[in-house]
Amino acid sequence: MAALNRSTLRRLQNLPQIPSVWEGDRRPLSNADSHMILEDDDDPEADGECILWVDGSEGVVRAMDVVGPDAGPEAIVRALLRAMEHPQSPAPSVRPQKIVVKNREIQFYLRGVLQDLGISIDYVPELPLIDEIFRGMQEVAVNRPPELPPQYAEVLMEKAAQIWHDAPWRTLSEHQIISIEINQWDVASLYVSVLGQGRMDYGVLLYRSLESLKRFRERVVNDDSFQDLEQAFLGQDCLFLTFESAGDFDEDDEEDQIDLADLPPSEIEPNFGNLHPLEGLRSILYEEEALTVLVALEAFHRFFRNSRRKLGAEIFPTLNSRYRIPVPQSDGEIQQISVKVSTMPEVSDELLEMLGDDDDEDDEDEFEMPLLRDDLVPPNSFLSLGVIPWETVDFLRATAQFHQGAEVHINAEGDGLPVVMIQTSHPKAKTMIQDLKEAGGVKAICFNPGEDPFQDEQYDLGILQAKNGELYLFGEFNEDDPVHQEARKKWERRCKSTNGWCGLVIAKGLMGASRGQPQFKDMIALFEVRWVSAKDLGIGPLQLMPMF
């Protein structure tokens, strides 16, 4: 048994001793109870225990702590010393005359540790004050509203999954604002700002007013201190949907380096909530708020799905659409709500100016836009050059979710169709397919020379040419890599056998057992396209340019 230091003992003996009886106990704590004790940003033990020290004479809690179930009896003493020297309630530092507990082990342990403090340690079968406190905590926990209204929870989670699948952050920046005119539940319009291009936070903010949105952006740009930024954050007036990892990370892991976009959908967890200057952050949506978010997310999803390509233009376009959104009613009926969704280019330009980008526009105009786009293939995708047998080609032609056939009949010569295989997660694969469909399909595959003059390195750039003329980078290969050189030679030899025809296969299953070796069921798209030489592509060697 550990003993108190002599200096600690003398310090406690110098505390005035009052004729009061304190109750002390340690009890298991449910997750619901833990939310009543801990702040939202604390880390509650999943199966923790609560330590309470209560002044029975005054009826006040002097110390409360939550510990893991494996914490030893020393935790009770630590809480007691804090109750004596630094009580959490506005009370003086004192020693009690008597302590009562309802656990024999705790009684004997405290008698041994506190034997020189002149405190009587007694056992009692009941602790009325602590019992009442825990009953109150349980009642509050039972009456605590759910994070989402039960009748709308399932459909809201479905809308959140739609937004994650849409990945609007791949197209929209935070300053590109979209308005959703609802005119229901005392909400005229919501103003959508998408988080995620910085690959740190992903989500959708639904501001109730343009003033709140502009005020927050201005404060973020102008305020430097953490306290100022915190006040700016809490001063927002918005509903929100954000995403986080459903998995736990070790403390040693650098969680800020984990990009949620690289995780499978099963590991993504949506969070809904409300921010208001007078309420602060609330992770609960009440009924009218839930309906508002439901309608807004569905309207945004439809608008983004129908306008994705236009929204990705260099200049944020002026677009608007109307939709009728079904809303479930409490009586089981479905009400149709008319919603107008519009882009807000002028507001977006104003927000961009706040960031100081407007001052650099003239300088940026001096540079040509990049000839090659690198936003098609998701990061960390698995890429390979190879061949698939003709039997597999026939199978994919008949069963793939998407098939772009060749313009002419391809003679089944050689050992199969040369292909570029890109394997990623299922949602990202579907997004790739959609992007290529919106670009008119794939016209050709090419390998073009490229160089990094700063590192004095030469590259072989894998390029997809879309039918709308866009060029997409799908891979960078070191020109001196013997493995790539051999794969490239086989690729060109096979393309000659097929009279210049090859294929692009997009596969899912990056995070599963078939990673790197996708099975038939994983191959969800086949594009039959032409192979062209760098000379025929006609863009010449490409050079990496620094972006300042």
Q: What tens digit of pLDDT does each residue of 502-512 get?
A: 999 999 988 77
Confidence (pLDDT) at 34: 44
Query: Angle at Cα 511 formed by Cα 506 and Cα 513, nearest 5°?
Result: 95
Beta-strand runs (E) in 161-249 = 178-184, 187-195, 202-207, 238-245
H or E stretch at 533:
none
Nearest to 443 by CA among 467, 417, 474: 467
Instruction: State yes or no: pLDDT of 459 exceeds 60.
Output: yes
pLDDT of residue 371: 66
Q: Rounded CA gap, 195 and 466, in Å?
A: 28
Q: What is the CA radius of gyration of the chain?
A: 32
Least confident of 32-41, 315-324, 354-363: 32-41
Q: Which segments of 468-522 are extended strands (E)? A: 471-478, 501-507
Share of the chain above pLDDT 90, in %: 46
Least trusted range by pLDDT, from 266-270, 438-442, 508-512: 508-512
Q: Which residues pair with 191 in a beta bridge?
A: 179, 207
Q: Are 429 and 525 in contact (CB under 8 A)?
A: yes
Q: For residue 28, what are its two tokens?
A: 């298991």
* Contact between 446 and 460 (Cβ < 8 Å): no
Inter-residue contact 289 to 239 (CB < 8 Å): yes
Residue 71, class by beta-carbon neighbours within 10 Å (0-12 exposed, 13-18 middle, 19+ buried)? middle
What pLDDT does residue 119 have? Answer: 93
pLDDT of 546 > 70? The answer is no
Q: Which amino acid is at 422?
A: I
The string of pLDDT tens digits covering residues 114-138 is 988 999 999 999 999 999 888 887 7
Q: What is the pLDDT of residues 90-101, one digit of tens each?
A: 889 999 999 999
Q: What is the pTM of this model?
A: 0.49
Mean pLDDT, the chain, rounded, equals: 84
The percentage of the chain sitting over the pLDDT mark of 70, rounded to a whole number, equals 87
Residue 139 has pLDDT above 80, yes or no: no
In this predicted structure, what is the pLDDT of residue 543? 72
Indicate the SS3 state at residue 299: helix
- Res. 373 pLDDT band, cuts 50 70 90: confident
pLDDT at residue 418 greater than cutoff 90: yes
Helix H segments across 269-355?
287-311, 345-354
Tell whether the model's pLDDT for residue 43 goes beyond 50. no
pLDDT single digits (tens) 424-433: 988 899 999 9
Query: Which contacts qualify for 140-145: CB closer than 8 Å, 24 or more apart?
Result: 140/36, 141/30, 141/32, 141/33, 141/35, 141/36, 142/32, 144/32, 144/35, 144/36, 145/284, 145/286
Q: What is the pLDDT of residues 151-196, one digit of tens each?
A: 989 999 999 999 999 999 989 989 999 999 999 999 999 999 999 8
Q: How far apart are CA 136 and CA 74, in angstroms?
A: 27
Q: Can you give the pLDDT at residue 134?
A: 85
Amino acid sitting at position 518: P
Q: What contacts 68, CB < 8 A, 6 or more positions away? A: 45, 47, 48, 49
Give 359 or 349, the one with higher predicted confidence. Answer: 349
- For residue range 274-311, what is the model confidence (pLDDT) as tens digits? 998 888 888 889 999 999 999 999 999 999 999 988 99
Phi/psi for 407 (5° steps) reads -75, -20
